[in-house]
Amino acid sequence: DAIAALHQVQPMGVQMGENNINPTKAADTDEKHADDKDESESESGDDYDRDDVETIKLIKADCIALCNNDFRVFVTHALKQTAMVDGVWHDLDPHGTGSIETQEQLSSAIFAFAAMYNQQKYRQMMQQQSHGNGHTKRPSRKRIETQAAAIALWVCKSYGSIGQAMKYKYRVSKTEFITNLPLWIQEYTV
């Protein structure tokens, strides 16, 4: 299991499956058409069913692939859309405290934007495919969740601290999140 391997190398991880964000079903792509499957991938849509060292390398490579300039530009633009940010933030901070502080919350926030980005890329590729430009594979929700969890873990380890039960924490306000997410994306690849 990819997340279990990530936990073994890095003491604390994100509890996957607790992401409560569903940005207009942007990443509800677990349904795969038979012709969308790549033989090199497992049924879950990823290659994470290997030994731990190889799994960690794949997760890191996936995260670096996600954290490209196009994603950074997408996030920068999306973070300027107040309604979008407010919708994501409300799901993470329903009591209106003004900040999020757990690795799980940060992972959910990153996941929301990564899912929207991947859905946009998929739509663009589908449009090209309709013009005869090849085969398009749906993005995997599990893969996006894993990428978001790994990036959130890196952010919390880099800027936060270890809290109770050895869980990483990093308190960030909405303003800080808006300002820093594009920077974290850029720094992650360095």
In this prediction, residues 148-174 reach a mean pLDDT of 88
pTM of the model as a whole: 0.70
Report the Cα–Cα distance between both ends of the chain, in Å, rounded: 26
Tens-digit pLDDT profile for residues 34-88: 334 333 333 344 455 556 788 888 888 889 989 999 999 999 999 999 999 999 9
Three-state SS for 54? helix
- Which tokens hold the place of 179? 């300002």
Range in 64-78, 137-151, 155-169, 174-188 with the lowest mean pLDDT: 155-169
pLDDT at 7 over 70: no
Q: Determine contact, residues 33/129, Cβ cutoff 8 Å.
A: no
Q: How far apart are CA 145 and CA 130, in angstroms?
A: 28
The CB density around residue 36, as the number of other CB atoms within 10 Å, is 14
What are the backbone angles phi and psi of residue 41, rounded to the nearest 5°?
A: -100, 155
Tens-digit pLDDT profile for residues 73-130: 999 999 999 999 999 999 999 889 999 988 999 999 999 999 999 999 998 888 877 7
